[in-house]
Amino acid sequence: MERVPLACPDITEACNLARAFTDLVRNRRGHPLTEWIRQGERCGQRSIRSFGSFLRQDLDAVTAGLILPYSSGVVEGHVCRVKLFKRSMYGRAFFALLRARILARP
């Protein structure tokens, strides 16, 4: 098992960065994110580099998502429910019935 890190240092580095990122997300630590992005952009794996660059594009929002206790999960759940209704009723009913069905359910 010890031969893998020696044989594939790029994969080992990518695994270590993935574990570090998982730790940031699970423990909701947003402040070390900038350092993680710097390390990711220096990584040998192209996918990790591009992910780090993608996170840097909206760093404030990503950091806030890790730090703040707010969530849009409830709203997203309602949006998903409405889309489900729309798909299930497509071609079968008019807007008035869709509206009534959405408003009738909590």
| Same domain? 53 vs 11 | yes
Domain residues for 99?
73-104
- What token pair was written down for 31? 């402040």
Mean of all residue pLDDT scores within the chain = 86
The model's pTM is 0.64
| Same domain? 39 vs 88 | no
Do 43 and 35 contact (CB within 8 A), yes or no?
no
| Same domain? 14 vs 62 | yes
Residue with tokens 């270590």: 16
Q: What is the pLDDT of residue 19?
A: 94
| Same domain? 81 vs 44 | no
Q: What is the pLDDT of residue 85?
A: 85
pLDDT confidence bin for 36, thresholds 50/70/90: very high
Q: What is the pLDDT of residue 13?
A: 87
- How many Å apart are CA 100 and CA 95, to the nearest integer? 9
Residues 6+ apart with CB under 8 A from 92: none
Residue with tokens 């299930």: 88
Number of domains in the chain: 2
Element (H, E) at 103: helix 95-104
| Same domain? 49 vs 90 | no
